[in-house]
Structure 1
């Protein structure tokens, strides 16, 4: 029992309430809340003011910085002129409950308009109600937690951190205003509210109607008051890229402030006296574009993959062709070298020369390794001997004899063999067998001593750089 009493006292301390009944009153009435309106409202509290009526002419709940001087506060424009606040949507929709909350926390203008939660400007503000005719209504004030909603959330909405999170197609600070999705319609009916969710369209929107009708078109994030806005008479419902972009940006800014998901909406309030048909619906074009995109994107991916495969295949084929060409060139060089300078054993090369090998010729001048009798060697027409593999590697860089610089290109080698059936080694061998073993080595300094024209022509043709060998 003591615990229950303590809880009740604690609740009474945190939630202070005042009610005042008005009977058959007209004009502007004051609602005194100074006795429950503390000088310092906690950051975790808000003061919620409520007006409740049952039937008859609808009174309007107002909160102003100063008391208005006349009794014409009957619409949004005059309320704005006097810098007053009111629950415009509830008043214009003739709901039985109007509610406004006051808080110490600073909120944006968009937040205040959307959720009827306003910042306290001063402690002496005017709170009251205005009615054109004699009315009976109840006004209440309650100091409650900032995280309690001023009204019960309707149409499936949920209260989060003191504001109602509404489902798609419901509007107002308590989600009490229901609208119709214009995307699903083939005609528009009088006095109906339609909405367009920007999440369901692209960058444009268009509807062409059968007749011109009066309507109000606006984006909800900027003007959350359903009945307010400029009245248009048109047969075209159209949104361009800039309008859609601005609406999305305003909605995102509001969502970032309240930390609750908000959808971007355009609203259309119809004021015609008859139904109008929708003649052209650009959703059909959007559907066709969506189908085209669904076809185009997979085809683009397939073509890209095919192109990539073709490029890889072409690259591999080209690389293989280059490698084959290099291999063919290498094989051709090897074949030419083997044709004119066949591979011999070192012992065979010694027999062909048939003279004592000098110390310089007892090792390979390229790798500087001493020959053995079983080494594979090649002997140039200048009778210089090298390892077969060493000479092949050497001639890939330069086609001259490493010792005497004698040319070893194909043209020079072929000119040294007058008979196609004989290689250079066979010529040397045959000449040696006939007993013609004398060789004359002529240096560049002694060329002038040779008067024979044939000898001079032969030396000029071979183009020796250091010394030339003439085989007679």
Structure 2
């Protein structure tokens, strides 16, 4: 009856079953948890945590039996001893020197890989003890909580997702709650200090993976799905190597973990290194990479500048040639004439008394050009106009190079005599004009104003 009441009270009250401030002396202190383990419901798990309150960090372990021998407890701290004497401890918290250590207890039977990965102590015969080990006098808070097995006892960190009581961590984060950040070893050029790194097996391009270093380094390598504990670096050497058999075994263990938890895991090795000096890959030199990068950057910038100058020069050269060709075409087909000569030789041009571009009156000695459409403009006005517009300002006839060249064919016909050709065949600035057929010569109406000698008229 009392047992049933205890179970009912456990369900109704807060999940925290006990939380005590404990002072301990140097050595080992055991706290029996048999009562909590016996009354634990099948659908619940226990969470045992120890939070450091003094400068000295005590170490928490959960064992099936009491552990009173200090030497046996110190064996648990051996990085190669994953689980011995039916005990389990929060090894990662010990390695990373976290202030809080957590271990979970359950009646449910989990595969060994799962219990190792998520720090789950499987209760056998309702026997469980919390073992606290400290090298000096210390103070800590012991907390015992109960939670449902489908809930995560700790919030999943770093964007991890809780799936049926287990945290699914994104790449680059490990631990039962995704709280341990790891860097990609593929992106590192050197090692320094205490580092936690991962190697994603999916990205491997070769069967064996080997890293050659320029000096010795202390390191440890393990498949993370086999055990979530971070082994303290215990190997020393210049070569970090993972063989094909190890890679295949790690992939198989990851699949087993996925099949039971129904969530996805990354097949990865965790590499823990510790060195007081900078250690680089053997193919790297401490000075050459920086010099090489500077040289490459300078050469690239210089090359871009040279290419830019060449492109600008070519474009300007083409533009200059094009402009010169246009000027030559205009000069050839629309030669410079004096306004007086144009109006006297072609009576139809007398109606045009001002330039349609600048709207100024033509003077007798104004330099003008006449288009093939027989319109007159100041030389400079037409030149500036044609830089932006390739049409006649008056009639909108095309004045582009191709159109002007096509008019050359009309000039070659003996039956057609264009006004431009007529003007080109006449003498300039002599004060007298001759009819196109050469049969008539007459005085310019403005001859007297220009002070030009008179010539007699000749009639047919």
TM-score by length of 2: 0.55
CA deviations 1:418-447 (Å, max 9, x no partner) are xxxxxxxxxxxxxxxxxxxxxxxxxxxxxx
Distance 1:31 1:209, change over 3 A: same
Match among 110, 134, 137 for residue 137 of structure 2: 134
**What is the CA-CA distance between 1:88 and the residue it aligns to?**
1.0
**What is the CA-CA distance between 1:232 and the residue it aligns to?**
2.4
Partner of 2:355: none
**d(CA) in 1 for partners of 2:115 and 2:100?**
18
Partner of 2:278: 275
Are 1:259 and 2:262 an aligned pair?
yes
Deviates more, 1:67-76 or 1:8-17: 8-17
Partner of 1:219: 223
**d(CA) in 1 for partners of 2:108 and 2:9?**
27
**d(CA) in 2 for partners of 1:156 and 1:106?**
28
**What is the CA-CA distance between 1:14 and the residue it aligns to?**
7.8
**d(CA) in 2 for partners of 1:137 and 1:129?**
10
**d(CA) in 1 for partners of 2:254 and 2:270?**
14
Contact preservation (8 Å) 1:207, 1:280? no
**What is the CA-CA distance between 1:35 and the residue it aligns to?**
4.7
Contact preservation (8 Å) 1:16, 1:144? no
Contact preservation (8 Å) 2:30, 2:130? yes
Are 1:87 and 2:90 an aligned pair?
yes
Partner of 2:247: 244
**d(CA) in 2 for partners of 1:165 and 1:238?**
28
**d(CA) in 2 for partners of 1:249 and 1:185?**
27
Distance 1:261 1:179, change over 3 A: same
**d(CA) in 2 for partners of 1:32 and 1:241?**
45
SS in 2 for 1:215: strand
CA deviations 1:304-357 (Å, max 9, x no partner) are xxxxxxxxxxxxxxxxxxxxxxxxxxxxxxxxxxxxxxxxxxxxxxxxxxxxxx
SS in 1 for 2:226: coil
**d(CA) in 1 for partners of 2:221 and 2:19?**
39
Are 1:205 and 2:209 an aligned pair?
yes
Contact preservation (8 Å) 2:158, 2:179? yes
Partner of 2:44: 45
**d(CA) in 2 for partners of 1:159 and 1:226?**
22
CA deviations 1:440-468 (Å, max 9, x no partner) are xxxxxxxxxxxxxxxxxxxxxxxxxxxxx
**What is the CA-CA distance between 1:97 and the residue it aligns to?**
1.3
Distance 1:211 1:35, change over 3 A: closer
**d(CA) in 2 for partners of 1:128 and 1:185?**
40
Partner of 2:69: 70
Distance 1:10 1:235, change over 3 A: closer
1:388-407 matches, within 5 Å, as: none
RMSD: 2.5
CA deviations 1:48-76 (Å, max 9, x no partner) are 11111134121111111111131342443
Distance 1:81 1:256, change over 3 A: closer
CA deviations 1:164-204 (Å, max 9, x no partner) are 21121212212222111111111122221221111111333
Give runs of ≥4 in structure 1 deviating > 6 Å.
Answer: none
**d(CA) in 2 for partners of 1:155 and 1:273?**
29
Contact preservation (8 Å) 1:18, 1:36? no
**d(CA) in 1 for partners of 2:219 and 2:9?**
53
**What is the CA-CA distance between 1:212 and the residue it aligns to?**
2.2
TM-score by length of 1: 0.53
**d(CA) in 2 for partners of 1:16 and 1:211?**
51
Are 1:184 and 2:183 an aligned pair?
no
Gaps of 5+ in 1: 1-7, 282-472
Contact preservation (8 Å) 1:76, 1:228? no
Q: How many residues align?
A: 272
Partner of 1:337: none
Structure possessing the higher radius of gyration over alpha carbons:
1
CA deviations 1:14-58 (Å, max 9, x no partner) are 83611121125332223344554444x333111111111134121
**d(CA) in 2 for partners of 1:13 and 1:276?**
55
Contact preservation (8 Å) 2:34, 2:128? no
Contact preservation (8 Å) 1:14, 1:144? no
Partner of 1:17: 17
**d(CA) in 2 for partners of 1:149 and 1:248?**
25
